[in-house]
Amino acid sequence: MTFTKILSLPVLALRKVVNACSPRAENDQASRSGGRHQVAKYPREKGSISGWTSISNISTSQNSYLTEDKSLHTAGMRLRNFDVVYIGDTGTNRGLGVFASHNLSKGHRIIIEKPAISCVHFKQHKTVAAEWQKLPVSKQQELVSRFRKLKGVPVGRRVALDKKQIKCLESFIGDYGFSDPNRGRAHVFSLTSHINHACRSCANAQHWTDGIEGNHMTVKLIKDVRAGDEIFVHYNRPKLGFGCALCPADNAVDRLTAFTNSSRRKIYGQGTDSSAQLRHRYSFAESNNLSVTTLVNTAA
């Protein structure tokens, strides 16, 4: 039928032609013939003119919802470090710990950070004092403010360190250091080094250090956590000198260790670090085949 003939039709006939060409008519015809049409998947919305209006509105509504949900999900997965966790007092002999500031889902990489300080830390060759003096003053100040262990270490790139201050730095690396996959260097991280240990069953996160240059630390949740929950990782060491922070039997061992360390501090005049802050000293000693006694004595 030509366009001229269509215009010459009466209004009623013209309406029938338009309706016959609409998607709704095609859908009705497909339904009567036993076929299926995509419009039939969605109910017609009240007030819509045709099936296309209905499907368009519904699709737009669904797509906007999915897009928003995906956007929020993606944004949430991008949030990490101090946007989703914070350092706080555990109220136990563990001292400080890392806590979730939001409800977070399993699989969320809550921490991706580069080392605050790195050094060679073997019994025969330790470079932490030299590495400390290479740090910008702002980074030194940041570390001193976050780690009580460094309270007596002077800030400044040209400040000479005495033997006591050097031993304090070496003890600090022993307490908080993570070795890289090649076990050649020790790294201290602003956030991760405050995370406490738990057994594999109780740990709600896992951690690893990149072997490539930069040695970034990643901490990924393996369980859902709620706001205010403490983050725990397994240190992956067979002998730590302390137990799981959450298991009752291991807590008793930790309490005894805390009492022993407290007594030792009173006798030898050690600093105010809690027993939990000795965790990396033992783990790093194990990873580098160092004497635990030697590392403990460096803190005196």
pLDDT tens for the 300 residues of the chain, in order = 555 555 555 655 656 655 665 555 544 554 444 444 333 333 333 333 333 333 233 333 333 323 333 333 444 456 889 999 999 999 988 889 999 999 999 999 999 999 999 998 776 678 899 999 999 999 999 999 999 899 889 999 888 899 999 999 999 998 898 888 777 788 999 999 999 999 999 999 999 998 777 789 999 999 999 999 999 999 887 666 778 889 876 555 555 555 555 555 445 444 444 434 344 444 444 444 433 332 333 332
Rounded CA separation 169/229 (Å)? 31
Rounded CA separation 237/276 (Å)? 15
Which residue, among 224, 282, 251, has the nearest Cα to 94 in the 3D structure? 251
- Residue found under tokens 């360390």: 261
* Confidence (pLDDT) at 108: 96
Neighbour tally for 44: CB within 10 Å? 17
Which domains does the chain carry? 76-114+189-234 (2.170.270.10), 123-176 (no CATH)
Q: What is the DSSP string of 135-190?
A: S-HHHHHHHHHH-GGGTTSPP-TT----HHHHHHHHHHHHHH-EE-TTSS-EEE-T
Give the DSSP letter of residue 240: -
Contact indicator for 188, 173 with CB cutoff of 8 Å: yes
Which residue, among 56, 36, 40, has the nearest Cα to 48 in the 3D structure? 56
* Confidence (pLDDT) at 285: 43
Q: What is the pTM of this model?
A: 0.59
Identify residue 7 by its one-letter amino acid code. Answer: L
Q: What separation in angstroms does the CA of 33 have from each of 26, 36, 37, 115? A: 11, 9, 11, 69
Residue 219 pairs with which residues in a beta bridge? 111, 207
* Confidence (pLDDT) at 210: 85
